[in-house]
A and B are shown apart, each in its own frame.
Chain A
Amino acid sequence: MVGLSAINPQFLYGCAGIFLFAIGLWGTWLHAHYVRKIISLNVMGAGVFLTLIAVAYRGENLPPDPVPHALVLTGIVVAVSATALALVIIRRLEDAANE
């Protein structure tokens, strides 16, 4: 129990974010289908956001840093609009291929 409490959440979640980035990179790189590339790309983005928020975390009793929070908030909206544009392009390509 004492050993577990020594885990620093900033380090744990920061590393988790970096490994999400790595997993997403793997999928974006090797998947052939575009929709699967987009899902993987979003996993990559989530990893970057998680690392930023982990770094902004300053412990149980301290308020976190609001600047990375604002960056991630805008990042989520930008990511979803980029995803929407990419998906419409993919649907358009598929429609064109079927015509």
Chain B
Amino acid sequence: MNLLDGLWGILDLLLVAVLLLLAMAAVLSSDRRRSMMLFIVFGLVLALVWARLHAPDIALAEAAIGAGLGGALLMATLRRDTHQQTDQFPQHPVVLWGAGVLVMVLGTMIAWGLFSVLPTVEQTWRKGAAVDAQLAFSGVSHPVTAVLLNFRAWDTLLELAVLLAAILGIRALGYVRSAYVTEVAFSQLAVWLVPLLILMAGYVLWAGAHSPGGAFQAGALLAGAGILLRLAGYSHAGLPTTRWLVRLGLVVGTGVFLLVGLGLLGWGQGFLHYPVAYAKWWILLIEMLATVSIGMTLTLAFMGGIPQKEAA
């Protein structure tokens, strides 16, 4: 037992060391392309850390959204025509290291503050026990989904609104010149992968009620399918070609969430207070539509806005 604990300790130290070194390398490397690659690897190691800390939901989301989509978004900004893209820090080395020492002192102060306060607030601050006690009334058996779509549904609604605001901003900017090349070789891959990704999205969405998964991970998988289609040369990335269907898809997640909340308010239940007997079905409906909106939003974000035909 002691030996096993010791091994876990070594693994923890190793993970933390690799994570911090990757972050340093991604921030300090002067080659932009290498910095992006290191950031993607950083995201994948972070997914391992989430798994280590018993956060499988976040590990799934990090691998799909943080590392996968974030990486794809960054790579889409690389220009083909400029080969060498180097970003040296413009400051004098003394300024550079002075600032480095300053942020490390700040970090040490925050860490010292947090860990001296934490033990005293620990008991009153934690809401985990309250979630466990109310879980039976939430309509789902997975605590993270219960928090997201029932106990703190407000947060999730506002978060979907943030997503909608971001995509509205992207669309308002008009179409941007894409930096990536479409590869015919991808179309063969897409034939196999896209149906598989859609199937996986459906499973992850359904599984969210009782185990890790849910609308965010499922939406990210759908976006993966969309990006693959875009890279394979489909100009609309599998999105509807009619404008109003695209618009409907983007707002349906936030819209129906809000309507359900207001409907329940009118019913005399309170905003987003699901009746226990039907909670599961309301949550499933909201999650399904949120998945569609999240998938479409993230795909459009990768494409840099409006499909080419619309822009023309």
Chain A complexes with chain B: yes
Question: A residues bordering B, Cβ < 8 Å?
Answer: 1-2, 4-7, 9, 11-16, 18-27, 29-33, 35-36, 38-40, 42-43, 46, 49-51, 53-58, 63-67, 69-74, 76-85, 87-92, 94-95
Of B28, B146, B304, the residue contacting A66 (CB under 8 A) is B146
How long is the Cα–Cα vector from A86 to B131 in the complex, in angstroms? 36
Shortest C-beta distance, B42 to chain A (Å), equals 7
CB-based contact A18/B58 at 8 Å: no
CB-based contact A42/B301 at 8 Å: no
A25, A26, A71, A89 interface centre (most CB from chain B within 10 Å): A26
Of B26, B79, B159, B173, the residue contacting A92 (CB under 8 A) is B173
Pick 18 A–B contacts, CB within 8 A, sort by A: A4-B13, A7-B13, A9-B53, A16-B16, A30-B99, A33-B87, A36-B32, A38-B74, A43-B23, A57-B54, A63-B143, A64-B55, A64-B128, A67-B131, A78-B163, A84-B166, A91-B304, A95-B176
B13, B76, B87, B297 interface centre (most CB from chain A within 10 Å): B87
Contacts of A78 in B (CB 8 A): 159, 162-163
Residue of B nearest to A49 (CB): B58
How long is the Cα–Cα vector from A54 to B53 in the complex, in angstroms? 7
Question: B residues bordering A, Cβ < 8 Å?
Answer: 2-3, 5-6, 8-10, 12-13, 16, 19-20, 23-24, 26-28, 32, 35-36, 39, 42-43, 46, 49-50, 52-55, 57-58, 61-62, 65-66, 69-70, 73-74, 76-77, 79, 87, 89-91, 95-96, 99-100, 103-104, 106-107, 110-111, 114-115, 118, 126-128, 131-132, 143-144, 146-148, 152, 155-156, 159, 162-163, 166-167, 169-170, 173-174, 176-177, 179, 214, 216, 294, 297-298, 301-302, 304-305
CB-based contact A26/B170 at 8 Å: no
How long is the Cα–Cα vector from A51 to B16 in the complex, in angstroms? 12
CB-based contact A19/B89 at 8 Å: no
How long is the Cα–Cα vector from A49 to B127 in the complex, in angstroms? 18
Known contacts A2-B2, A64-B53, A69-B58; can you find 16 more A-B pairs with CB under 8 A? Answer: A9-B12, A9-B53, A14-B114, A21-B107, A23-B24, A23-B103, A30-B99, A65-B126, A66-B128, A67-B127, A70-B156, A72-B55, A76-B62, A77-B216, A92-B173, A95-B177
